[in-house]
Amino acid sequence: MKTSVKKSVISIDPKVTFSLPVSRQFKVWSDANYNAFPDLELAGETLICAWRAGDHHKPVSYSGICVSTSDDRGVSWSRPVVIAESFNISEMLWNCPSLKILPDGRVIMLVDYSEAGRLSEQERPPHKIAMFVSEDQGCSWTRADDLPAMGLCPDKLLVASDGAWIVSAHQPKRMGSLVGLVAYVWRSEDEGATFQGPFACGDEAEQQLCEASIIEPVPGTLVAYMRENSFLGYPMAKSISTDGGRTWTLCQ
């Protein structure tokens, strides 16, 4: 005997309503061998999607950063705009984009890249982090100065309650005879002109902590959630800061 269960959609924001079933899928783009690492932001009525296009999960030759926009909450999408691309990863490897809408409406995209993409992640220097800015809801972009922060897979830029910009990324670190991963945080009090750091939010000798995502659940408290990448069955980890990201608790 089959029992039907009516699924309900719960929104934590009472002003948000869903006009489409949340289970439906809509294709953004598929004209590349490997579209990966997407991120989304909603700027006014425009949904922005950024991702990395490539020829493989670890690109062999081509890598590029693409952006597409939707004015109907994801049902249909504009033809992608290529923000940056490379056909030779020895000279340039574009990796992982993240999007953030600033309080003034600007859209910030952080993307890590390497000029030594032929080397393994353990051998190459820490990735640099490029910053692109859009003032028209993702339709056009300009490249600003690179951040002093360095590392793989930068998280969305966090604007903390005190106005500080918080950026996280991870880097390989030699730990005895092994190479581990450590998650770091940088802090800017002048909207990216200068940064303090790096401050380690995930540095455990027996774990590979990476891809930190940081939230501020209450003013003055930052929580970093980190992926554990050793493939040994460790759970994900979290660390907490109560001084704006300068110091962090031991990972839990």
Residue 208 to residue 121: CA distance in whole angstroms: 13
Nearest to 210 by CA among 96, 116, 133, 102: 96
Residue 129 to residue 92: CA distance in whole angstroms: 12
Q: What is residue 161's predicted lDDT score, i.e. its pLDDT?
A: 96
Residue 150 to residue 134: CA distance in whole angstroms: 22
Residue 168 to residue 210: CA distance in whole angstroms: 9
Burial of 177-194, coded b for 16+ CB within 10 Å and e otherwise, reads eeebbbbbbbbbeeebee
Residue 69 to residue 141: CA distance in whole angstroms: 13
Whether the bond into 198 is cis, omega within 30 of 0:
yes
Q: What is the pLDDT of residues 49-61, one digit of tens each?
A: 999 999 999 999 9
Nearest to 149 by CA among 124, 126, 121: 126
- Token pair of 222, please? 């930052």
Q: What is residue 9's predicted lDDT score, i.e. its pLDDT?
A: 41
Q: What is residue 173's predicted lDDT score, i.e. its pLDDT?
A: 85
Q: What is residue 83's predicted lDDT score, i.e. its pLDDT?
A: 95
Any residues with CB less than 8 A from the CB of 15 and at least 6 apart, and which? none
The residues of the chain scoring below 70 in pLDDT are 1-23, 32
Give pairs for 209-212: CB < 8 Å, separation 24+. 209/170, 209/181, 209/182, 209/183, 209/237, 209/251, 210/152, 210/153, 210/170, 210/181, 210/183, 211/152, 211/153, 211/155, 211/170, 211/183, 212/155, 212/168, 212/169, 212/170, 212/183, 212/185
The end-to-end CA distance of the chain, in Å, is 44
Q: What is residue 15's predicted lDDT score, i.e. its pLDDT?
A: 56
Q: What is residue 17's predicted lDDT score, i.e. its pLDDT?
A: 55
Strands 178-188 and 196-202: antiparallel
DSSP bridge partners of 98: 110
Q: What is residue 32's predicted lDDT score, i.e. its pLDDT?
A: 63
Q: Which residue has the tokens 């910009």?
A: 165
Q: What is residue 20's predicted lDDT score, i.e. its pLDDT?
A: 54
Q: What is residue 234's predicted lDDT score, i.e. its pLDDT?
A: 87
DSSP bridge partners of 182: 171
Q: What is residue 2's predicted lDDT score, i.e. its pLDDT?
A: 41
Q: What is residue 233's predicted lDDT score, i.e. its pLDDT?
A: 85
- Token pair of 227, please? 């992926």
Q: What is residue 99's predicted lDDT score, i.e. its pLDDT?
A: 98
